[in-house]
Amino acid sequence: MSASFRAVQWNRDKIVYDAVALLLIGAYVFGFMLAMRAGAPAGKAPAWADLRISAFGTCAFLLISIILSIGPLARLSPKFLPLLYNRRHLGVMAFIVAAIHGYSVLDWFVIRGSVPWIWNEITNVKDYAKFIGFPMKAIGLFCLIVFFVMAATSHDYWQKFLSPGAWKAIHMAIYGAYGLLVMHVALGLMQRDYSPVIPVALAIVAGTVALVHLLAAFKERSGDAPGDMTGDGWITVGAPQQIRDKHARIVCAPGGERIAVFRDGPIFGAVTNACAHQNGPLGEGRIIDGCITCPWHGWQYRIEDGCSPPPFKEKLATYRLRLRDGAIEVDPHPLPPGTPAALQLK
C-alpha cells in the first residue's frame, strides 16, 4: 500500500460543523413530516411510512444540492469557505439520508408483501425505452450506488492512495449523479403529484446549483489569461507593495498552470497554486503562523521551500523569483517540489 490509514482527526470546528448539520437534518425531517400531517385535509393525512419516504428523499436532494453549491459559492465569495472546510462529512451524511430514503421505499413494499413489484419495475426492459415511465427507481438506485462510492472513498486515505488528481476525477461522478437525481424526481414524484409545487421547487433548486457553477466557471476563466511575459520568458507579477502582506497574487503560466506568489513581510515565495491535498486554490489563502495556508482545508506549507512543516511531508513545486526594474518577476518553469526559492527584499 502506498498510503497508510489514519483515523479522522477531530477538532472543535469539525464537531460543531457536524452537530449543526445533524441538528438541521433532524429538524428538517421531523418538521417536514409534522407539517405535511398538519397541513393535510381532515381524514386524508398521509401515512407516516409515505411521509418518511418524502422527508428523507427531499432532505437528501436538498443536502446534495447544498453540497454541490458550496464549492462554487466559495469561489465566488470567501464568506462561504467555512462551509467548505468539512464538506466531506456533509457528503457522508447526505449518503446516509439518501440510504434511509431508499430503505424507507423498500420498507413500504415489505410492509405490503410486494417486494417483487420493485424487482419487476427495475427488470422490465421495455420500460427503459420509454421516457415517461422510465424506471425511476433504477435511476435512484444508481444514484445511491454513486453516493456510496463517494462516501466510502471520502477519507484522506483514499485520496492519497488514488492520488489527488485521480480522486478528484472519480468524485466528479457526483455531477452526473446529480443530473440523474433531478430526473429521478422529474420522472417519479413530479409525474405522480400534479401540483405545480414540485416542478417549481425542482427548477429553482437545480437551476440555482447550475447557475452558481456556471458563474464560478465564468469567473475562473478570467484567471486563465497568461501573465505579462518579459523578453526572457519570465512573468511580471507586479511591484512588491502591490502584493498584500500575508496574501498572494496569482499569475498564469503559458501552459495554463497557475502560480501563487506570496508575500510575508519582506519575504516573497512562489508556489504552484494547487494544494497537494485536493488541488485547492492556495493563492486564495493567506499566510498563517508563517505558513501558506490552503483556504479549503487549512493544509500548510512554508513560503521558503513549499514544504509542509514537520511532521507532515507534503511538498509543493516552487518557482524562482527576481526583482527587476522595481517589479517582482517569476520564472514559469517549476522547480522540483520542496526546492528553496524564496526571495528576501531588504
Partner 1 sequence: MKRPHRAAHRIAWIVLTVLVAIGFTLALVQRKPQKKSAQSSFLHASYPPVTSEEQVR
Determine the Cα–Cα distance for residues 266 and 208; give it in Å rounded to an integer. Answer: 43
Report the Cα 95 to chain-centroid distance in Å: 14
111 binds partner 1 (CB under 8 A): yes
Q: By CB under 8 A, which span of 86-94, 144-152, 240-248, 250-258 interacts with partner 1?
A: 250-258
Q: Decide: is 90 part of the binding site for partner 1 (CB under 8 A).
A: no
Tell me how far the alpha carbon of residue 313 is from its chain's centroid: 25
Phi, psi of 216 (to 5 degrees): -65, -40
Rounded to whole angstroms, the Cα distance separating 345 from 126 reads 73
Write the CB contacts of 256 (distance below 8 Å, at least 6 apart in sequence): 224
Per CB under 8 A, the segment of 1-9, 56-64, 78-86, 170-178 that binds partner 1 is: 170-178
Q: Which stretch binds partner 1 (CB under 8 A): 12-20, 105-113, 283-291, 322-330?
A: 105-113
Task: Report cis status (omega within 30 of 0) of the bond before 135.
Answer: no
Distance CA 237, CA 249 (A): 7
| Interface with partner 1, residue 168, by CB under 8 A | yes
Least distance CB 165 / partner 1 (angstroms):
7
CA distance 209 to 171: 17
- Count of positions on this chain that bind partner 1 (CB under 8 A): 47
Kindly state whether residue 194 participates in binding partner 1, applying the rule CB under 8 A: yes
Nearest one of 252, 258, 257, 300 to 276, comparing CA atoms: 300
User: Which listed residue (84, 90, 151, 206) binds partner 1 by CB under 8 A?
Assistant: 206
User: Under the criterion CB under 8 A, does residue 94 sit at the interface with partner 1?
Assistant: no
If binding is defined by CB under 8 A, does position 165 make contact with partner 1? yes
Out of 201, 202, 250, 327, point to the residue binding partner 1 (CB under 8 A). 202
Of 210 and 267, CB closest to partner 1: 210
Residue 178 CB: number of other CB atoms within 10 A? 20
> Contact with partner 1 (CB under 8 A): which of 224, 254, 266, 344?
224
**Contact with partner 1 (CB under 8 A): which of 172, 232, 289, 313?**
172
Minimum Å gap between C-beta 275 and partner 1 is 10
DSSP characters over 86-135: THHHHHHHHHHHHHHHHHHHHHHHHHTT-HHHHHHHHH-GGGGG-STT--
How many residues can be counted in the chain? Answer: 346
Q: Which of 203, 239, 288, 323 binds partner 1 (CB under 8 A)?
A: 203
Instruction: List residues binding partner 1 (CB under 8 A).
Output: 46-50, 108, 111-112, 114, 117, 121, 131-132, 165, 168-169, 172, 175-176, 178-179, 182-183, 186-187, 190-194, 199, 202-203, 206, 210, 213-214, 217, 220-221, 224, 255-257, 274, 279, 281
